[in-house]
């Protein structure tokens, strides 16, 4: 959830290895002696979206301790990727930890992750798309802890003020452009979102394109479909009906929506908790994103429960992950801090319990998963930097650079 709010460049595992001079096989863990005691102590490192998530994970750890007899310490990272990479390099990793999809392949390639997927009997209960995001060399490495999709959030007071009704919720690009223009006046911008592929990529998908082929073995960025998607975004930017969050002095779409600077935003289901906490009096409605030339399209995000290859408590760590990934616990997490369950069977229960999240839940059926290629985080970081100039740069130029950079990353091996 935290990585979807920002596309800031992060220090990768490979970069830290270069800085510390460690070898690339530091995470193999093949010779780590395993603790076979009946009562073991586990450490868990998380990157939290706020106090609600921190409390929820700590409560779950306490409940597991009571049930299993193993003790668990939950620590909150200040910089998740940097702390993880340093702990791997120092051969003192936490037993269990969050792994973002953009860093997953880096850690898997380095041998830092213990692949425990074959020990999960009901792994098929997690969607094929999510399992694919956290598989490496044909093996399911770690279980997705939750899932998130993007949808269109509308400030209903500003919507009504503009003379619009529920029948005007946009279902096509043309309708989106029309209502965004109508809503843009005074200090309000029709549509505000962040200048990153994790948001703008929905238009590439809706136009029938994407960054890579489904197998992530070939770059498909430099395509007419992707150019059409970014071209539509560019037209909105040039008209003034779309602005990036920083252009309206906010850090993300939720803040712009909450402060009344945006009539609409493109955000994920983490918006619910943020609005409840920071802007409880703002009324809004969430609907599915409008379809493009090739139909509906949205993006999916997830984080997995990683287990360190060098952990001396791998069996106990997997047992903890099973507990944290259970249907009951996933529903508790969903209720506590707004994430959607990653279990297919549990998603239906969540949808019934949270009717306001229907658009996000329904979008999961056609959501595009993230790019998970080793070393690709740097490629996407540069893509996000290039997207900042989309209003003045030909989309084909931006996509050609993405194609070149991506091909270089693929050439280095997955």
Strand 303-307 relative to strand 96-100: parallel, antiparallel, unpaired?
antiparallel
Q: What are phi and psi of 210, to 5 degrees?
A: -175, 175
Residues 99-134 pLDDT 10s = 998 899 999 999 999 999 999 999 999 988 899 999
**What was the pLDDT predicted at 52?**
84
Whether the CB-CB separation of 272 and 153 falls below 8 Å is answered with no
Q: Which residue, chain included where needed, has tokens 């209903």?
A: 156
User: In 3-state terms, what secondary structure has residue 311?
Assistant: coil
Please name which of 231, 272, 278 lies closest in space to residue 251, comparing C-alpha atoms. Answer: 278
Q: Is 181 exposed, middle or buried (CB count within 10 Å of its CB: 0-12, 13-18, 19+)?
A: middle
Residues 148-160 pLDDT 10s = 999 999 999 999 9
pTM for this one?
0.85
**What was the pLDDT predicted at 43?**
98
Question: How distant, in Å, are the alpha carbons of 35, 69, 71, 143, 244 from that of 40?
Answer: 8, 8, 6, 22, 48
**What was the pLDDT predicted at 30?**
54
Interatomic CA distance for residues 10 and 180, integer angstroms? 33
Interatomic CA distance for residues 259 and 263, integer angstroms? 10
**What was the pLDDT predicted at 276?**
86
Interatomic CA distance for residues 146 and 344, integer angstroms? 11
Read off the tokens for 17: 């290895």
The pLDDT profile of the chain, 414 residues, written as one tens digit per residue, is: 434 333 333 333 333 433 333 333 434 445 789 988 889 999 999 998 788 899 999 999 999 999 999 999 999 999 998 999 999 999 999 999 999 988 999 999 999 999 999 999 999 999 888 999 999 999 999 999 999 999 999 999 999 999 999 999 999 999 999 999 999 999 999 999 999 999 999 999 999 999 999 989 999 999 999 999 999 999 999 999 999 999 999 999 999 999 999 999 999 988 988 898 899 999 999 999 999 999 999 999 999 999 999 999 999 999 999 999 999 999 999 988 878 999 999 998 999 999 999 999 999 989 998 898 888 989 999 999 999 999 999 999 999 999 999 999 999 865
119 HSE (CA, 13 A, CB side): 16
**What was the pLDDT predicted at 28?**
44
Q: Is 138 exposed, middle or buried (CB count within 10 Å of its CB: 0-12, 13-18, 19+)?
A: exposed
**What was the pLDDT predicted at 25?**
41
């Amino acid at each position: 959830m935290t990585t979807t709010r920002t596309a800031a460049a992060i220090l990768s595992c490979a970069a830290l290895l270069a800085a510390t001079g460690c070898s690339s096989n530091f995470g193999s863990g093949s010779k780590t002696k395993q603790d076979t005691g009946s009562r073991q102590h586990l450490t868990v490192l998380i990157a939290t979206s706020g106090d609600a998530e921190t409390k929820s994970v700590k409560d779950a750890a306490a409940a597991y301790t009571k049930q299993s007899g193993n003790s668990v310490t939950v620590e909150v990272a200040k910089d998740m990727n940097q702390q993880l990479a340093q702990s791997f390099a120092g051969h003192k990793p936490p037993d269990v930890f969050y792994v973002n999809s953009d860093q997953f392949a880096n850690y898997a390639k380095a041998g830092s992750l213990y692949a425990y997927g074959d020990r999960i009997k009901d792994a098929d209960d997690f969607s094929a798309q999510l399992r694919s995001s956290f598989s490496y060399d044909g093996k399911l490495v770690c279980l997705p802890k939750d899932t998130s999709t993007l949808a269109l959030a509308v400030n209903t007071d500003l919507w009504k003020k503009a003379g619009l009704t529920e029948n005007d919720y946009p279902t096509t690009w043309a309708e989106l452009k029309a209502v965004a223009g109508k809503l843009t006046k005074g200090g309000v911008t029709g549509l505000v979102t962040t200048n990153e592929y994790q948001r703008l990529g929905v238009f590439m998908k809706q136009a029938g394109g994407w960054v890579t082929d489904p197998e992530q073995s070939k770059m498909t960025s430099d395509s007419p479909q992707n150019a059409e998607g970014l071209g539509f975004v560019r037209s909105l930017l040039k008209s003034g009906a779309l602005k990036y969050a920083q252009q309206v002095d906010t850090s993300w779409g939720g803040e712009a929506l909450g402060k009344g600077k945006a009539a609409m935003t493109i955000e994920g289901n983490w918006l619910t908790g943020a609005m409840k906490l920071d802007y409880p009096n703002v009324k809004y409605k969430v609907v599915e994103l409008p379809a493009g030339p090739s139909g509906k399209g949205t993006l999916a995000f997830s984080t997995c429960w990683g287990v360190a290859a060098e952990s001396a408590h791998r069996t106990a760590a997997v047992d903890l992950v099973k507990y944290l990934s259970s249907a009951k616990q996933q529903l508790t997490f969903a209720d506590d801090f707004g994430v959607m369950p990653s279990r297919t069977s549990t998603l239906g229960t969540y949808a019934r319990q949270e009717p306001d999240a229907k658009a996000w839940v329904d979008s999961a059926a056609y959501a595009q998963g993230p790019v998970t290629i080793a070393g690709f985080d740097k490629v996407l970081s540069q893509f996000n930097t290039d997207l900042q100039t989309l209003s003045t740069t030909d989309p084909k130029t931006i996509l050609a650079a993405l194609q070149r950079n991506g091909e270089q990353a693929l050439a280095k091996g997955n």
